[in-house]
C-alpha cells in the first residue's frame, strides 16, 4: 500500500465506506476525530489493520482519494446557505458562497469537506451544465446481470461525465440484482470521483430506522446526496439533514400521474406538496435541503418556486415526457443549484449517450436564458 | 443435485430468488409458465443450466422447498378477500376463506401458491399468536458486522418462531452493511421457511421504478409481504399489489411523533391518513392490501378501523412505548390478519428473546378478548 500522510489515515478511520464491516458512527464523528488526532502512530496502525481486514474493500487507494469528502464538518465551520439567488453568468470563484473552497486552514490540519450543494454549484459553473444523468439499469434491456449493468452504466458515465454536474443512480434498479447489485453500485461510484453522486432512494422511516438508512446511503455507499420521502415528517427527515455536507432532496411534487392522489389534497387552502415545501424550508438550517419537483408539471414547479428558493431536482424529462423548457424556466432562479434536471432512459439507452446528453444540456441552458 | 418432478422445476424457472443473475419477469409470468409446460425435457435442461450457472445460489435445495410460494396465481384462480370478519376462536380448517389450502388440483398440475394473508391467518390460528418480531440489527449493539447481525438474528428467529406468525426485517438495518448485508438477509430468510417474511422497506417511487423495487423485494429477496409508502399515489402502489399472492401494507398513520406533520393535515374534513386508507381500499381488488397503523396512537387506530376492515400492521410496541392493549382492542375485528403487532428492539435485545416474545404474545391475545 502506498504511503500517506496522517490526515488521510484519519479520514479513513472516521467514515470510510466500510462495506460489510463495522458501520458505527454518524454525523457526530468529528468529536472522535479531534480526540484521536493526538496519537497518530497508534491511529495509523489501527487504520492499516482495518483496511487489511476488510475483504470487500477492493481498491484501498480509493478510500484515500475520497477521504476528504467523507469527513463531516465540525459545527464551528462556516455554514453555507442553499438559498442564494446569484446570477449564474456573473459569478466566478469569488462568489462568497464558495468561500469554503478557499477558506484558511482549520485547526488541527483537518481536511475540510466541501458541502454537496457547493460542489454542485462549482461543477455546474465549470462544466456549464444543469444536467444530471440517472443511472437506472433495466435487466429487460441490458444483458448480463449485475456485471452487465455495471459495464453499461460505466460506459454511460465515461461518455456523459463532461456534460453533467451530477449522476443519479436509483436504488431500486440496483436492488433488483441482490448483493451483486450493491457491489456494482459501489464500483460504479468509483468511476467518477470528481462528480457528485445522488442516490435516488426516496427513503422515509421513523427516526431510529432513518439513522440506519442515512448510514447506508452516506456511509456505506458514500453518496453525496439522496432523495427522501416526507410522509413520516420532520423527525424522520432530520436524520438525513444532520449530515450537513450531504444534500437531501425531499419529495415535494413527483413526476407521475398518481402524484395527484395524496400530494394534491388541499389543506388550509393549499395542496399537501406546498405544506411539504414549507416543512423542508424549516429543516434547512444547514443549507443542505432541496426539493424534488417533477418536470412533467411546470405549473406546480412555478407554484413551488413562488414560495421557496430551495434547490430543485427536476426528474421526468425524456422518457416521461416532461416539458424541459417550461419546467426549467419555472425552476431557475439564477442559483446554479436551483434547477438540476434529471434524465435517465432517454440518455442511457440512446445509441450515443454523449450526444444525447450534450443536446439536452444545451436545451436546458437555452431555457435558463443565461447561456446560449 | 437431487431428482425432482417437473412441477418443481417449473416453479424454479418462473420466479426463483435469483441473486445477482437475470431478474426479468414479474407477476405476469404465469402466462409464460403455461406456454413452456408443454416441453418438460427442454425446460428441465434450462433450469438445471441456470442453477449450475448461478454462483450465488448457495443452497439449491431451498429453491425447490420454496418453489410453490413463488408461483404467481393465474387470474382464474379463486381470489381471497382480505376483509373477512370471522371470529377467531370459532374457525378451524373449514373456514371458507382458507379454501385455497384444500382446493382441487388446478389445470396442468401446477402448484398453487397460498396468498400471504391466508398463510398469515392459518399460522396465526395454528400458533395462537398475533405477534410479528422485527429483525433490525444495530451495529452499535451487535459485534461482527453483517456476519454478527446474521448470527444474532438467526438466534432470535430460532428462539421466537413458535411465538410469531411473521418476521419483519427492516431493510435499512441490513443496507447499513452493504452487499454483505443483503447476502445476510437472504440467508436469514432461509432460516424460517415456514413463517412469512415481511420486508419493512416503505418503498414508494414512480411506476417504472416501483416495478424494479417489487422485483427486488418479491423476486430477488423472495419476501412474502412488504410495506410501501403512499406519497406517490395509486400508480406507484399498483406495481406492488399486482403480485396477488404477496401482502402489501401501505403506510397510513405511522408510529413516530413526526407523523403529525403530513399525515394529520386536514383535507375535506378528514386527515390525510384517512384519505390514504380510502385509497388503499380502492386498490384491494386482490385482497392483498393492509395498512400500517402505529400502536403509539390508539385513537387513530380506532378511527381508521371505523372506516376500513383492511388488515393492520401495528408497529411501535416495546421500545417505542406503544400502548399494546388499547391499540390491539382498537385494531382487532375477529380476522386473524386484522391485528399483526410488531415489536423489534424489546425482543431482539432481550436477555431471553423467547420469554419476551411469549409474554408479548400472551399480552396481545388477552387484549383481543378471544384467547385467555
Q: Which of residues 305-324 of A touch B (CB under 8 A)?
A: 320
Instruction: Tell me the pLDDT band of B113, cut-offs 50, 70 and 90.
Output: confident
Is the CB of residue A268 less than 8 Å away from at least one CB of chain B?
Answer: yes
A221 contacts on B by Cβ (under 8 Å): 178
> Whole-angstrom Cα distance, residue B161 to residue A189?
40
Work out the minimum CA distance from B327 to partner chain A, whole angstroms.
Answer: 19
DSSP string of A98-129? GGGGGPPPPGGGPPPPPPHHHHHHHHHHHHT-
Neighbours of B126 (CB within 10 A): 12
Q: Is the pLDDT of residue B224 over 60?
A: yes
Among candidates A227, A223, A268, which has minimal Cα distance to A249?
A227
Least confident segment among A97-111, B277-291, B298-312:
A97-111
User: Residue range A250-261: average pLDDT?
Assistant: 97
Question: What's CA A132's distance to the chain center, in Å?
Answer: 10
What is the percent of chain A with per-residue pLDDT over 90, rounded to a whole number?
Answer: 66
Q: Is the pLDDT of residue B24 over 90?
A: no
Taking a C-beta distance cutoff of 8 angstroms, is the pair A288, A317 a contact? no
Greater confidence (B339 vs B40) lies with B339
With CB atoms and an 8 Å threshold, state whether A221 touches B178: yes
ipTM: 0.78
User: Residue range A255-281: average pLDDT?
Assistant: 97
Taking a C-beta distance cutoff of 8 angstroms, is the pair B146, B181 a contact? yes
> Whole-angstrom Cα distance, residue B109 to residue B7?
7
- Domain architecture of chain B: domains with CATH: 117-368 (3.20.20.70)
B177 contacts on A by Cβ (under 8 Å): 19-21, 23, 220
With CB atoms and an 8 Å threshold, state whether B230 touches A261: yes
Q: For A260, which residue in chain B has the nearest alpha carbon?
A: B233
pLDDT score at A337: 98
Which strand ranges, in their side-by-side order, compose the sheet holding B247-253?
Answer: B166-169, B131-135, B339-343, B312-314, B289-293, B247-253, B225-228, B198-203
Instruction: Tell me the pLDDT band of B82, cut-offs 50, 70 and 90.
Output: very low
Greater confidence (A10 vs B223) lies with B223
What is the percent of chain B with per-residue pLDDT over 70, rounded to a whole number?
Answer: 68
Quick one: residue A20, left, alpha or beta (phi over 0 = left, psi -120 to 50 = alpha)? left
Q: For B150, which residue in chain A has the nearest alpha carbon?
A: A20
Mean pLDDT estimate for chain B? 78
Least confident segment among A96-100, A115-119, B299-303, B312-316:
A96-100
State whether residue A87 is helix, strand or coil: coil
Q: Write out pLDDT tens, residues A6-38.
A: 333 333 233 334 444 445 555 644 333 333 333
Nearest to B256 among A146, A235, A260 (CB): A235
pLDDT score at B223: 98
pLDDT score at A111: 62
Joined grid coordinates for residue B340 = 399483526
User: Residue range A280-298: average pLDDT?
Assistant: 97
User: Residue range B17-41: average pLDDT?
Assistant: 42
pLDDT score at A316: 85
Q: For A280, which residue in chain B has the nearest alpha carbon?
A: B261
Amino acid at each position: 500500500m502506498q504511503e500517506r500522510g496522517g490526515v488521510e489515515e484519519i479520514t479513513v478511520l472516521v467514515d470510510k465506506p466500510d462495506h460489510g464491516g463495522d458501520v458505527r458512527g454518524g454525523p457526530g464523528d468529528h468529536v472522535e476525530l479531534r480526540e484521536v488526532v493526538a496519537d497518530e502512530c497508534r491511529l495509523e496502525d489501527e487504520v492499516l489493520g482495518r483496511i487489511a481486514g476488510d475483504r470487500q474493500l477492493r481498491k484501498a487507494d480509493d478510500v484515500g482519494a475520497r477521504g476528504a469528502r467523507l469527513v463531516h464538518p465540525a459545527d464551528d465551520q462556516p455554514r453555507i446557505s442553499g438559498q442564494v439567488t446569484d446570477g449564474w453568468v456573473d459569478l466566478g470563484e469569488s462568489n462568497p458562497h464558495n468561500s469554503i473552497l478557499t477558506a484558511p486552514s482549520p485547526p488541527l490540519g483537518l481536511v475540510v469537506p466541501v458541502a454537496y450543494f457547493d460542489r454542485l454549484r462549482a461543477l455546474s459553473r465549470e462544466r456549464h451544465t444543469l444536467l444530471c444523468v440517472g443511472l437506472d439499469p433495466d435487466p429487460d434491456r441490458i444483458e448480463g446481470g449485475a456485471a452487465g449493468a455495471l459495464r453499461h452504466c460505466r460506459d454511460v458515465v465515461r461518455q456523459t461525465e463532461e456534460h453533467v454536474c451530477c449522476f443519479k443512480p436509483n436504488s431500486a434498479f440496483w436492488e433488483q440484482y441482490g448483493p451483486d447489485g450493491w457491489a456494482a453500485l459501489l464500483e460504479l461510484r468509483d468511476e467518477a470521483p470528481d462528480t457528485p453522486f445522488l442516490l435516488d432512494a426516496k427513503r422515509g422511516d421513523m427516526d431510529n430506522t432513518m439513522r440506519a438508512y442515512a448510514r447506508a446511503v452516506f456511509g456505506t455507499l458514500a453518496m453525496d446526496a439522496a432523495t427522501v420521502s416526507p410522509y413520516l415528517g420532520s423527525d424522520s427527515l432530520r436524520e438525513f439533514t444532520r449530515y450537513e455536507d450531504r444534500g437531501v432532496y425531499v419529495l415535494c411534487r413527483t413526476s407521475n400521474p398518481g402524484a395527484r392522489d395524496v400530494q394534491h389534497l388541499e389543506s388550509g387552502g393549499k395542496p399537501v406538496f406546498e405544506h411539504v415545501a414549507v416543512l423542508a424550508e424549516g429543516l434547512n438550517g444547514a443549507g443542505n435541503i432541496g426539493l424534488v419537483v417533477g418536470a412533467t408539471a411546470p405549473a406546480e414547479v412555478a407554484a413551488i418556486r413562488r414560495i421557496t428558493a430551495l434547490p430543485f431536482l427536476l426528474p421526468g424529462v425524456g422518457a416521461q415526457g416532461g416539458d424541459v423548457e417550461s419546467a426549467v424556466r419555472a425552476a431557475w432562479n439564477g442559483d446554479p443549484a436551483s434547477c438540476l434536471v434529471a434524465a435517465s432512459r432517454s440518455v442511457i439507452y440512446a445509441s450515443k449517450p454523449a450526444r444525447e446528453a450534450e443536446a439536452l444540456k444545451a436545451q436546458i441552458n437555452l431555457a435558463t436564458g443565461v447561456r446560449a
